[in-house]
């Protein structure tokens, strides 16, 4: 097996469901353009909530600072 191939497969497997969800939300939003004003507001609200939910998957979690041990009493 080629080194690094496993990581590539895992990344690709993680991206496919995200792309499908983003496309579904985009189609939902487009469908809202053809609805009445009340329904359009509802569809836009739902699609924006879905995109906010998907944003950590798209952008990743923020990088936290490495853990530094507390200096002080040693046993």
Question: Where do the domains of the chain lie?
Answer: 21-57
Residue with tokens 């836009």: 44
Residue range 37-42: average pLDDT? Answer: 86
pLDDT at 70: 59
Is residue 32 scored above 80 in pLDDT? yes
Residue range 17-21: average pLDDT? Answer: 85
Q: How far apart are CA 69 and CA 60, in angstroms?
A: 26
22-61 burial: b if 16+ Cβ within 10 Å, else e: eeebeeebeebeeeeeeeeeebeeebeebeeeeeeeeeee
Task: Identify the residue with better confidence: 67 or 38.
Answer: 38
Q: How far apart are CA 3 and CA 9, in angstroms?
A: 12
């Amino acid at each position: 097996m080629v080194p690094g191939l496993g990581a590539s497969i895992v990344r690709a497997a993680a991206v496919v469901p995200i792309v499908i969800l983003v496309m579904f939300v985009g189609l939902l939003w487009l469908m809202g353009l053809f609805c009445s004003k009340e329904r359009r507001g509802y569809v836009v609200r739902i699609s924006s909530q879905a995109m906010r939910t998907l944003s950590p998957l798209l952008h990743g979690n923020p990088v936290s600072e490495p853990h530094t041990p507390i200096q002080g009493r040693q046993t």
